[in-house]
Amino acid sequence: MAVKAHETQINSDIRDAEVRVVGSNGEQLGIMSAREANDLADKAGLDLVKISPNAVPPVCKIMDYGKYLFDKAKKEKEQRKNQKIVALKEVQLSMTIEQHDIDIKAKNATKFLLAGDKVKVSIRMSGRQQAYSDRGIETENKFAESLQEIAVIEKPAKVEGRNIIMILAPKNAKK
């Protein structure tokens, strides 16, 4: 049976001349040949598992391999479950936006922020507007001010080519 690089070697797959053996209760059994270690594992009715292949000599532990795989899968599943994926939602403004429209855009951004997502606020400048980018930055800062209760500025308003971009993050991010 060919062993892949990422797979754990067990029992007869371990062909090292010498291995450091750890018992099923965590006690050090010393350095011995892989065959001797395999015999000890067989007597205990357990498997010999190479847990640290890069050590010199490699470290093997006598354990129940099926239980080891189950516990490992359970830990990975728990980590995935506790992971929070933060999305980046976008709100587009314009240089000549009126206050009422800012309020509506702020209401939408509030929904995103309360859901735990970050909000990218962008203004696309066209033609002569590029000469007055400071007005666009002012507009974005006014927008951020209207959301200061629930949002914090993660990346301040900055001109990037034809766009002015600012990123807001929720204030009390749930961890």
106 and 149 belong to one structural domain: yes
Quick one: 70 and 107 in the same domain?
no
Claim to verify: residue 54 and residue 97 sit in the same structural domain: no
List CB contacts of 82: < 8 A, sequence separation 6 or more: none
What's the pTM?
Answer: 0.53
Given 51, 80, 109, the domain boundary residue is 80
> Domain span at residue 52?
11-80
Q: Which residue has the tokens 């002569």?
A: 128
3-state SS, residue 145: helix
* The pLDDT value given to residue 110: 93
- What are the pLDDT digits (tens) for 14-56? 888 888 998 888 888 888 888 888 888 888 888 888 888 888 8
Q: Residue 160 sits in a domain of what CATH number?
A: 3.30.110.10
In angstroms, the Cα distances linking 171 to 9, 138, 150 are 47, 21, 5
Element (H, E) at 61: strand 59-63
Joined together, the tokens standing for residue 107 give: 């209401």
- What pLDDT sits at residue 6? 52
Residues 68 and 15 placed together within one structural domain of the fold: yes
Q: How confident is the model at residue 163 (pLDDT cuts 50, 70, 90)?
A: very high
What digits encode the pLDDT tens for the residues 137-157? 999 998 998 898 999 999 999
So what's the pLDDT on residue 66?
Answer: 87
Average pLDDT score, the chain? 86
Instruction: State the pLDDT at residue 2.
Output: 47
Examine residue 175 and state whether it is found in any structural domain, yes or no: no
In terms of Cα–Cα distance, which of 93, 80, 19, 79 is closest to 55? 19
Residue 76 lies in a domain: yes
94 with 164, same domain?
yes
Q: How many domains does the chain have?
A: 2
Same structural domain, 76 and 96: no
15 in a structural domain? yes
Same domain, yes or no, for 17 and 75? yes
Which tens digits make up the pLDDT trace of 79-101? 888 777 778 899 999 888 888 99
